[in-house]
Amino acid sequence: MLSKNLIQELTRIIGKENIRTDEEDLICYSYDATNQKFLPDAVVFPKNADEISLILKLANKEGFPVVPRGAGSGFSGGSLPVEGGVVVSLERMNKILTIDTDNLIAEVEPGVVTGEFQWAVEDLGLFYPPDPSSLKFCTIGGNVAECAGGPRAVKYGVTKDYVLGLEIVLPTGEIINTGAQTLKGVVGYDLTRLMVGSEGTLGIVTKIILKLLPLPEATKTMFAIFTDMRDAAETVSKIISSKIIPSTLEFMDRDSIKCVEDYSYIGLPYNVDALLLIEVDGDKELVENQAEAIKKICLDNGAKEIRIAVDKKEAKKLWQLRRAISPALAKLKPNKINEDIVVPRSKIQDAIIGVREIAKKHNLINANFGHAGDGNIHVNIMIDKSDKAEFLRAEKAIREIFELVLGFGGTISGEHGIGISKMPYIGMELSRSAIDVMKKIKQVLDPNEILNPGKIFPRI
């Protein structure tokens, strides 16, 4: 609980309109897409870095937690106020400040919705590739904090590959700028990279300078249907080794497809085991050739059918279907343990087979989909939380899956971050000393542990 005095102080900094302490408002800022709830004591809606700086200074003085929040679409609980305190919602800081068509860079506030930014630059013939499936509602600030990626990562990389510079309010209230407005820049340590993916624990991002690309002339979207998942995995390897890099190469297994088929009906004729959703982009001619080549590889490797979207509308439908999968899995069972493991591309087939075996062994429902092109697979174990025994089995299975993944030289989270969801497992991947270095960095920047406490590192 914050004292009345503290609320008054906060109100003075931010204005009456921009602080909320009513129960109803607190409830609306207590959750994110992990479907877990922790009530904050207050929510504030700052307009700029200066206001945030004052709030953080006050927090250091008074010792209350501060938790930055974008759209609350996170999958690891990063924006949850697990220790109460003040949620700093960046919903009001949602302006695209500049789109510089000469230098192909843009400057945005953190609350800008990723998809809206993409459409704005596309109207000018430019391209911002990072495309998390949540792009229509997640914020760029949240993307930076989680280093979000998406289907296009296979060809274009992830958020960190586009962040040139940041304005950040440090946990102690100082405002700093990192990086530069240029593509190169080696002055001092690369604080930009340190901040990207720091899950709102090292500073609150208030401005972001992003790199843009020219919009590809053409794209072609297609999907291939497989009756055996192994053929699909084999096809992925073949496409990559043929030196064609598609702009997306998405994989969906049987159970994932089942959940969305009635959401956006595409009519699948076979006993489908896996789908690949593939997109190529570039010059018109190149795109035609690549699409043909990919079609051939699919058919040669056991695809039962391949369909090419005739127009943008059809392509959009396919993507809608793909993006709906994750939330729609709730149709299988009410609760989802959602992992986003990554393995070297050549190990995808083994990884999926391994995951399926582990799930079967523990008698669990499992659906897998994701970015096959870069080896990032969303492994979902569907459970009913009220069934305690099932939950324990799921925890065991998760551990085994992580062991499997690390054994292949992979990583336990490709894009969703650690937050609170994966906190217990961080030690499986990182060594004691690596964790120590990170904790030291955190301690230097946030000596009073006020910024987003209780995340990433288990307190032992």
Ligand X SMILES: Cc1cc2nc3c(=O)[nH]c(=O)nc-3n(C[C@H](O)[C@H](O)[C@H](O)COP(=O)(O)OP(=O)(O)OC[C@H]3O[C@@H](n4cnc5c(N)ncnc54)[C@H](O)[C@@H]3O)c2cc1C
Applying CB under 6 A, which residues contact ligand X? 32-33, 67-75, 78-79, 90, 110, 132-134, 138-139, 141-143, 145-146, 148-150, 199-200, 204-205, 326-327, 415-416, 452
Taking contact as CB under 8 A, which single stretch among the options 16-24, 342-350, 402-410, 421-429 is the one that binds other proteins? 16-24
User: Judged by CB, which is closer to other proteins: 113, or 383?
Assistant: 113
The residue count for the chain: 460
Q: Which of 11, 15, 136, 305 binds other proteins (CB under 8 A)?
A: 136
Residue at 171: amino acid letter: P
User: Judged by CB, which is closer to ligand X: 29, or 425?
Assistant: 29
From other proteins, ligand X, none, interface partner of 452 (C-beta below 5 to 8 A by class): ligand X
From ligand X, other proteins, none, interface partner of 118 (C-beta below 5 to 8 A by class): none
Q: Which of 2, 13, 14, 29 binds other proteins (CB under 8 A)?
A: 29
Q: How far is it, in rounded angstroms, from Cα 376 to Cα 153?
A: 10
Query: Encoding tokens for residue 70?
Result: 């974008």
User: Is-contact 202 171, C-beta < 8 A?
Assistant: yes
**Beta carbons within 8 Å of 12's beta carbon, 6+ residues apart:** none
Query: Encoding tokens for residue 275?
Result: 């789908």
293-332 residues in contact with other proteins (CB under 8 A) are 324-328, 330-331
User: How near is the Cβ of 393 to ligand X at its closest, in Å?
Assistant: 25
From other proteins, ligand X, none, interface partner of 91 (C-beta below 5 to 8 A by class): other proteins
From other proteins, ligand X, none, interface partner of 395 (C-beta below 5 to 8 A by class): none
From other proteins, ligand X, none, interface partner of 421 (C-beta below 5 to 8 A by class): none
From ligand X, other proteins, none, interface partner of 171 (C-beta below 5 to 8 A by class): none
Q: Which of 53, 60, 76, 89 binds other proteins (CB under 8 A)?
A: 89
User: How near is the Cβ of 112 to other proteins at its closest, in Å?
Assistant: 11
User: How near is the Cβ of 224 to other proteins at its closest, in Å?
Assistant: 23
Phi, psi of 4 (to 5 degrees): -55, -40
Instruction: Name which of 143, 205, 210 is nearest 182 in CA terms.
Output: 210
User: How near is the Cβ of 250 to other proteins at its closest, in Å?
Assistant: 16
First to last CA, the chain: 25
**Beta carbons within 8 Å of 458's beta carbon, 6+ residues apart:** 423, 424, 426, 427
Instruction: Name which of 391, 396, 336 is nearest 366 in CA terms.
Output: 336
31-50 residues in contact with other proteins (CB under 8 A) are 31-33, 35, 45
Instruction: Name which of 387, 256, 440 is nearest 330 in CA terms.
Output: 256
From other proteins, ligand X, none, interface partner of 15 (C-beta below 5 to 8 A by class): none
Instruction: Name which of 391, 370, 373 is nearest 382 in CA terms.
Output: 391
> CB-side exposure of 14: number of CA atoms within 13 Å?
31
From ligand X, other proteins, none, interface partner of 146 (C-beta below 5 to 8 A by class): ligand X
Only one residue has tokens 């489908």, namely 272
User: Is-contact 57 99, C-beta < 8 A?
Assistant: no
Q: Which of 27, 97, 437, 444 binds other proteins (CB under 8 A)?
A: 27
C-beta atoms surrounding 22 within 10 Å: 10
User: How near is the Cβ of 441 to ligand X at its closest, in Å?
Assistant: 15
Q: How far is it, in rounded angstroms, from Cα 233 to Cα 166?
A: 39
Q: Which of 86, 154, 210, 260 binds other proteins (CB under 8 A)?
A: 260
Q: How far is it, in rounded angstroms, from Cα 45 to Cα 302?
A: 54
Q: How far is it, in rounded angstroms, from Cα 201 to Cα 439?
A: 11
Residues that bind other proteins (CB under 8 A): 22-25, 27-33, 35, 45, 71-73, 89, 91-92, 94, 113, 115, 134, 136-138, 260, 263, 324-328, 330-331, 334, 336
